[in-house]
Structure 1
Amino acid sequence: MRRLLSTLLTTLALPLAAPAAHADEAAASAMLDEMAGNAGRLRVFLQAMPKGGDLHNHLGGSVYAEDFLKVAAAKGMCADAGITRIVAGPCPEDLQIGRMAEKDPFTYARLIDAISTRGFQKGIGPALVSGHNQFFSSFRKFGPAAEGEDARWLADAFASAGRNNLVYVELMHNPDSTIPFMLSAPDGPLDAEGIAAAYKRDLPAAQALVAPAMAEVDKEEAFAKKRLSCGAKAADPGCDVAMNYIYSAMRGLPPQVVWRSMLAGFVLADKDPRFVGVNIVMPEDDPVALRDYDLHMAMFRFLEAKYPKVKVTMHAGELALGLVPPKDLEDHIGKAVASGARRIGHGVDIAYEVNAPETLARMAREGVAVEINLTSNAVILGVEGGVHPLHLYRSMGVPVMLSTDDEGVLRSDMTNEHVRAVQQQGLHYADLKELARNSLEYSFAPGASLWAGRRYGDAVAPCAADFAAASCKAFLVKNEKAMLQARLEMNFDRFERSLDRFKNKNGAAGD
């Protein structure tokens, strides 16, 4: 599933000139503008529109509540008496999830609401619960059903990506076999001066994690491939999606635990090419995360020096005025960039940073991209529409791309992120196309880019004349990133040549 060489080379047999602008791009742009006010037709168009990569996608949050409940029912699990979470059985018959699904659909619906953010997207969640608290508390509520099911969720992640016409995903995923190392961290404090000693102490145990973790992911991918019928005539479209992984450090835990989670990620990413980077997750407004933010940055700087080939993306600026005091909005993004982040996840509070102009200029200059999560920011932070910084970043030359964050808990998908981008952010077809290209250009996929100097439409010399040229094929075979980019361009070409399917009976795209 990760290598699409045969698919790409088959497609390359079709004639396609290298320049990125096609004669039908203007027609696609006009069609999207006509559809912008018609939600149904817009969804149909954007569902089919090619998309690049999803670079900010948590495996644990990608699962819909209904899928957790199916697994829970099969395991004989129950709802608690308050219908607020999944718990282990046995239990009275009326709390058995399997029975509830068949005999008591209204209570079953209450349980779905309890373990997801259903309703919060439209402002109809419970008035006494914020979207922020509902979102982050959901993970504890469905946790028992999630245990041991990563292979199933991985298959679902591939399927969702294929259904939404993505070609690439960087999935945040920590193999279960690495968790005991993290949780067995010693008690006691850890400060920046103690990081070197902690590294010497913990490195042998971290290195011992690599082989079991790689074997675990091998099994998960094999299960997903079988579940999606990859290689068969009726293979799921997700089989054609390339996927790599991002390991996540856990910022809301004691310093020794955070350190071990980060070390495990760097060591694994250094050895397993499927793990292309390290991130840091959990609520940024958590008191421990706020207290230890500078310490976490010091950990990143130390490990980046030890493992210079490992790339870093950080959740930073997932904060909003009112969620935390203004002083906590002053510098997280700037510090993340200064500590080696090549991408920023969320970046919502950039306008409140004291050195925002300098940070934005540096991000633009160094190509530090922002993973934009529109549904997530609306539900969790209440930031949407004109308040969202998407246009601020673009106006300052900072590259951005759309991503899903936790599509299952948030009740969204990548196409919905594009719908929001059009209807709430006023983006046009050319903008969406640029963001899709950004998602591959600024991905951590290995190899060189298809584009010379990051100028879209200006292909590197081997592919300048024709993607089907022998020189280009040889280049693509050696460079996964360029291969994915070429596939996206060919997908755009096919899409823009088949616009008639979106016209209504009168030959128009709008109402």
Structure 2
Amino acid sequence: MFKFFVRLSLLLMFFASAFTVPGQVSAEKYISDYLNSIRDNRALLTAFFQQMPKGGDLHNHFSGSIYAESYFDYALKADFWVNLKTLTLYDKAPAPSADIKRFSEVKAAGGLDDLRYQLLRFWSIKDYFEGDEASDKHFFDAFDKFDLASKGLAQDGLLELKQRAKAENVQYIELMYRSAKHGLDLSDLKNYAFVLDSLQRQKNSTGLAVVLDTLYAKFIRKGVESKVQDYTQAIEKTHRELLLDDSTFTMRFQGYVTRVLEDQVALFGNLVASFLSAERSNLIVGVNIVAPEDNPNSMRNYWLHMHFFKWCKKQFPTVKFSMHAGELTLGLVKPEELNWHINAAVREAGAHRIGHGVDLAYENKVYDLLKLMQTQQVAVEINLTSNEYILKVKDDRHPITLYRSSKVPIVISTDDAGILRSNLTEQFVLLANRYKNISYAEIKQYILNSIKFSFIEEEKLKLKLTHNLQQQLAKFEQQLQLSLVKK
């Protein structure tokens, strides 16, 4: 019976091959060849990737992803005050000044278009010129500049991001939305700041773990869990009321802490709150650490922050986290500061994903690090426009080829599409145009990786998103092949 089925299978294979149209190729092969033929044409690449399902965007900051036009529209609607010289916004009447006007006054005087143009440049990289100011400073300062307007778009902004994602065939967003803060009075714990600093100078990880145990117990007694519950319920309510999930789109959130804080006790409290919230909500799927990595406080306390995360990983083993690590380059910091940040994030903190990872080539024992990332499947979030603008790193200076050659899992993401005036489609255009050796099959794998390495906690949902994405990619290939053949 077994031999009969073998013979039958061989016979069917013969007839299938006999009736194949000569020269016919699979849709995937056809699309791969077509992509290779347009690698040098950015317009054709844009049309291609705009239509292609792109899976998820795993590295994006809420306020930095909203376009400046939306902030301007909100400020106009709220009729804020604005200093016409400094472009500072106020939601309450400031001290009288000839330079400060309400938006309605500016509009009545016919100056609204000029103010709009100035603010769009102030809040984003629109029409940025090299001589204006350092690009990294212009980028990071933007968050404080539009902070007041961003608070007013806490909900409408989520819908804007969802609608934009769906319009460019993105199925999932994992958003750094709101920082989880401990909300506690820590004035009686001030002396611990000196203890933490001393342990860091000694690189005393054992002593540090004991102190963190003590601080955690104090946070619990002070009621951090109830503060976290309020934070978690607010996010779940927003997600539910805005209907952010539908049949073709899913949104989840990462809590985060800001690494530039001077008060390390407060920072650890915020980190505990972030892990607690991620542990208790299926919508808050992970934790991150944000803000400029080259900031003096960030650099001074980097070792401490890695051990904060290491402690939290042990305390909250089910919570996953990504880390902005290695968002540095030669000239931004001293050379000796380039060789250990990614190593520490992977080896000490135990990060599940790495954001940026740009200083990779400078890292100590880089090939051992890459092997470890490949073995442990620590994915790297590649943000091409961001790295080019902030760090001036692009083309063959970018380490994406190092990650690729070592088979480290790669995902493509936007970082801050609003400030950078970009989107996920553009990131894939840059990828295909700049790195022609990266095949179509690899690009598809990067897209599938965006679901595989997401922090989605519900396995059933993850499998569903993966299945749907595979079907959509196959449909995209078939439809595009049909359209191109007709031409």
Check 1:133–1:200 CA distance in 2 against 1; reply closer, same or farther (3 A cut): same
Q: List per-residue Cα deviations over 1:321-354 (Å, max 9, x = no partner).
A: 1111111111010110012101000000010012
Q: Distance in 2 between matches of 1:428 and 1:358?
A: 25
Q: Distance in 1 between matches of 2:187 and 2:462?
A: 37
Runs of 4+ in 1 over 6 A off after TM superposition: 91-94, 182-185
Q: List per-residue Cα deviations over 1:477-510 (Å, max 9, x = no partner).
A: xx21111110100101110111157649x82xxx
Q: Does 1:367 align with 2:377?
A: yes
* Residue of structure 2 in register with 1:194 after alignment: 211
Gaps of 5+ in 2: 1-24, 197-207
Following superposition, the deviation at residue 26 of structure 1 comes to: 1.1
Following superposition, the deviation at residue 126 of structure 1 comes to: 4.3
* Residue of structure 1 in register with 2:30 after alignment: 27
Q: Does 1:440 align with 2:458?
A: no
Check 1:329–1:49 CA distance in 2 against 1; reply closer, same or farther (3 A cut): same
Q: Distance in 2 between matches of 1:480 and 1:394?
A: 28
Following superposition, the deviation at residue 62 of structure 1 comes to: 0.9
Please show how residues 197-212 of structure 1 align to structure 2 within 5 Å: 197-204=214-221, 205-212=223-230
* Residue of structure 2 in register with 1:174 after alignment: 178
Q: Does 1:422 align with 2:428?
A: no
Q: Does 1:406 align with 2:444?
A: no
* Residue of structure 2 in register with 1:86 after alignment: 89
* Residue of structure 1 in register with 2:462 after alignment: 481
Q: List per-residue Cα deviations over 1:405-445 (Å, max 9, x = no partner).
A: 11111111110111111122324422221110111111112
Q: Distance in 2 between matches of 1:42 and 1:77?
A: 41
* Residue of structure 1 in register with 2:254 after alignment: 246
Gaps of 5+ in 1: 1-21, 231-237, 449-478
Q: List per-residue Cα deviations over 1:95-154 (Å, max 9, x = no partner).
A: 44456577442332121101112234xxxx241411100000001111111224311111
Check 1:249–1:175 CA distance in 2 against 1; reply closer, same or farther (3 A cut): closer
Q: Distance in 1 between matches of 2:190 and 2:112?
A: 47
Check 1:140–1:447 CA distance in 2 against 1; reply closer, same or farther (3 A cut): closer
Q: Distance in 2 between matches of 1:501 and 1:411?
A: 33
**Contact 2:124 2:142 (C-alpha < 8 Å) held by counterparts:** yes
Q: Distance in 1 between matches of 2:104 and 2:162?
A: 27
Please show how residues 103-182 of structure 1 align to structure 2 within 5 Å: 103-120=111-128, 125-174=129-178, 178=181, 180-181=183-184
**Contact 1:248 1:265 (C-alpha < 8 Å) held by counterparts:** yes
**Root-mean-square deviation (Å):** 2.4
**Contact 2:379 2:453 (C-alpha < 8 Å) held by counterparts:** yes
Q: Does 1:213 align with 2:222?
A: no
Letter in 1 for 2:352: R
Q: List per-residue Cα deviations over 1:148-207 (Å, max 9, x = no partner).
A: 43111111221222122112111112267x463499895441512521111111124221
Check 1:315–1:326 CA distance in 2 against 1; reply closer, same or farther (3 A cut): same
* Residue of structure 1 in register with 2:21 after alignment: none
TM-score scaled by length of structure 1: 0.81
**SS of the residue 1:415 aligns to:** helix
Q: Which moved more, 1:27-36 or 1:399-408?
A: 27-36
Q: Distance in 1 between matches of 2:188 and 2:301?
A: 17
What count of residue pairs does the alignment treat as equivalent?
A: 440
Q: Distance in 1 between matches of 2:294 and 2:313?
A: 25
Letter in 2 for 1:180: G
Please show how residues 313-462 of structure 1 align to structure 2 within 5 Å: 313-338=322-347, 339-426=349-436, 427-448=438-459
* Residue of structure 1 in register with 2:301 after alignment: 292
* Residue of structure 1 in register with 2:18 after alignment: none
Q: Distance in 1 between matches of 2:364 and 2:471?
A: 43
**SS of the residue 1:349 aligns to:** helix
Check 1:258–1:26 CA distance in 2 against 1; reply closer, same or farther (3 A cut): same
Q: List per-residue Cα deviations over 1:196-237 (Å, max 9, x = no partner).
A: 111111124221123312321133224433xx8x8xxxxxxx
**SS of the residue 1:380 aligns to:** helix
Q: Distance in 2 between matches of 1:180 and 1:72?
A: 28
**SS of the residue 2:358 aligns to:** coil
* Residue of structure 2 in register with 1:19 after alignment: none
**SS of the residue 1:489 aligns to:** helix
The correspondence for 1:71, drawn from 52, 67, 74, is 74
Check 1:74–1:392 CA distance in 2 against 1; reply closer, same or farther (3 A cut): same
Check 1:100–1:387 CA distance in 2 against 1; reply closer, same or farther (3 A cut): farther
Check 1:160–1:99 CA distance in 2 against 1; reply closer, same or farther (3 A cut): farther
Q: Distance in 2 between matches of 1:34 and 1:95?
A: 55
**Contact 1:54 1:402 (C-alpha < 8 Å) held by counterparts:** yes
Q: Distance in 2 between matches of 1:158 and 1:167?
A: 9
Check 1:239–1:72 CA distance in 2 against 1; reply closer, same or farther (3 A cut): farther
**SS of the residue 1:278 aligns to:** strand
* Residue of structure 2 in register with 1:14 after alignment: none
Check 1:98–1:44 CA distance in 2 against 1; reply closer, same or farther (3 A cut): farther
The correspondence for 1:50, drawn from 50, 53, 59, is 53
The correspondence for 1:301, drawn from 305, 310, 316, is 310
Q: Distance in 2 between matches of 1:155 and 1:175?
A: 19
**SS of the residue 1:209 aligns to:** helix
Following superposition, the deviation at residue 377 of structure 1 comes to: 0.4
**Contact 2:30 2:481 (C-alpha < 8 Å) held by counterparts:** no
TM-score scaled by length of structure 2: 0.85
- Greater fraction helix: 2
Q: List per-residue Cα deviations over 1:440-462 (Å, max 9, x = no partner).
A: 111112255xxxxxxxxxxxxxx
**Contact 1:73 1:98 (C-alpha < 8 Å) held by counterparts:** yes
Following superposition, the deviation at residue 86 of structure 1 comes to: 2.8
Q: Distance in 1 between matches of 2:88 and 2:35?
A: 42
Q: Distance in 2 between matches of 1:85 and 1:66?
A: 16
Q: Distance in 1 between matches of 2:62 and 2:251?
A: 12
Q: Distance in 1 between matches of 2:247 and 2:122?
A: 32
**Contact 1:50 1:165 (C-alpha < 8 Å) held by counterparts:** yes
Following superposition, the deviation at residue 252 of structure 1 comes to: 0.7
Percent identity among equivalent residues? 33
Q: Distance in 2 between matches of 1:290 and 1:248?
A: 18
**Contact 1:78 1:96 (C-alpha < 8 Å) held by counterparts:** yes
Letter in 2 for 1:309: T
Letter in 1 for 2:464: M
Q: Distance in 1 between matches of 2:234 and 2:290?
A: 22
Letter in 1 for 2:151: E
**Structure number with bigger Rg:** 2
Letter in 2 for 1:243: M
**Contact 1:93 1:99 (C-alpha < 8 Å) held by counterparts:** no
Check 1:183–1:350 CA distance in 2 against 1; reply closer, same or farther (3 A cut): farther
**Contact 2:179 2:274 (C-alpha < 8 Å) held by counterparts:** no
